[in-house]
């Protein structure tokens, strides 16, 4: 299937909250769900998927291998554990969560295991997350040409990550942007509010549309049905050049002070 450009991320959602959020997202039409081993909610995602009755080929499910499993001994075993929790025979996208393997383990080793997971049919696509420009270029040299599907990085109007996006484009690697609302701070920005008012929309829809119109996938998170509904129709909004130019001025190219300590395991 084609990857839905808009997905639902469940970073920081735990237990019944994670289960109910994914359940509601699927009910509202989302078909792209993004989780990770370190989030501790793969079981809840699996339960929501199993109970949804949605055909497997209509879903796009992503998970990520955590740092301590980036070894020859632990990598594939960790993927099997994830699949068991997710109640799936394969995921659509498997990512290296961070380029932070245990001491002594080189990128060549864990990327070989990532490719092996694809060859074993445990995932349809493979990719990376939180890789810098240099790390992304190194990964592209190690893996077969065209095999890196995406680099998932933090992207929002306050942190537009232009250098990474430009390098990814040159390498034909898609960008998936997480934390598109900067923990809600973007939604309160006067510029975003003005643009939203112009389009009779919500600032969240503007933030999502801004990502999608630049060819990025976006995985906002929410625990409320009304917010999921709002996010889901964001692709219907078309921002004009003036809107995009105004949002471009919001780029600080650094993690804003109010996000310090929030980012850690996304």
Q: What is the pLDDT of residues 153-172, one digit of tens each?
A: 999 999 999 999 999 999 99
For 100-117, the pLDDT digits (tens) are 999 999 999 999 999 999
Q: Class of the 8-259 domain?
A: alpha beta
Q: Is the pLDDT of residue 260 over 70?
A: no
Output the pLDDT for position 104: 96
Provide long-range contacts, Cβ within 8 A and 24+ apart, for 37-41: 37/63, 37/64, 37/65, 37/66, 37/69, 37/78, 37/81, 37/82, 37/97, 38/64, 38/66, 38/97, 38/265, 39/10, 39/11, 39/12, 39/13, 39/14, 39/265, 40/14, 41/10, 41/13, 41/14, 41/15
pLDDT at 131 over 50: yes
pLDDT, tens only, 12-23: 999 999 999 999
Q: What is the mean pLDDT of residues 237-251?
A: 98
| 39 belongs to the catalytic site | yes
Res. 254 pLDDT band, cuts 50 70 90: low
Q: What is the pLDDT of residue 96?
A: 98
Q: What's the pLDDT score for residue 253?
A: 73
Q: Tell me the C-alpha distance between 92 and 142, whole Å.
A: 21
User: What does the radius of gyration of the chain's CA atoms come to, in whole angstroms?
Assistant: 18
Tokens of 64: 């990520």
State in Å, rounded, how far the first CA of the chain is from the last one: 26
**pTM metric for this prediction:** 0.94
pLDDT at position 263 is 44
pLDDT band at 266 (very low <50, low <70, confident <90, very high): low
Break the chain into its structural domains and give their ranges.
Answer: 8-259
Residue 97 annotated as lining a ligand binding site: yes
Average pLDDT, integer, range 139-161:
97
- Which entry of 39, 149, 158, 178 is annotated as an active-site residue? 39
């Amino acid at each position: 299937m084609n990857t839905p450009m808009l997905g639902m991320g469940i970073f920081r959602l735990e237990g019944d909250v994670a289960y109910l959020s994914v359940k509601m997202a699927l009910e509202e039409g989302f078909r792209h769900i993004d989780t990770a081993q370190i989030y501790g909610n793969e079981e809840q995602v699996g339960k929501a998927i199993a109970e949804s009755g949605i055909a497997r080929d209509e879903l796009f499910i992503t998970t990520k291998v955590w740092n301590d499993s980036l070894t020859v001994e632990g990598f594939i075993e960790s993927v099997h554990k994830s699949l068991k929790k997710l109640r799936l025979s394969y995921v659509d996208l498997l990512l290296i969560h961070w380029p932070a393997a245990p001491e002594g383990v080189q990128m060549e080793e864990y990327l070989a295991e990532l490719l092996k997971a694809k060859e074993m049919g445990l995932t349809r696509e493979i990719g990376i997350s939180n890789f810098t420009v240099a790390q992304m270029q190194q990964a592209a040299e190690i893996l077969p040409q065209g095999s890196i599907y995406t680099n998932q990085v933090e992207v929002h109007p306050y942190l537009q990550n232009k250098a990474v996006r430009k390098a990814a484009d040159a390498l034909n690697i898609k960008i998936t942007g997480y934390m598109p609302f900067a923990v809600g701070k973007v939604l309160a920005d006067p510029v975003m509010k003005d643009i939203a008012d112009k389009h009779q929309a919500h600032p969240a829809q503007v933030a999502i549309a801004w990502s999608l119109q630049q060819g990025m996938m976006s995985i906002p998170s929410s625990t409320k049905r009304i917010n999921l509904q709002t996010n889901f129709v964001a692709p219907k909004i078309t921002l004009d050049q003036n809107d995009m130019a105004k949002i471009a001025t919001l780029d600080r190219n650094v993690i804003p002070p109010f996000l310090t300590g929030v980012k850690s395991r996304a």
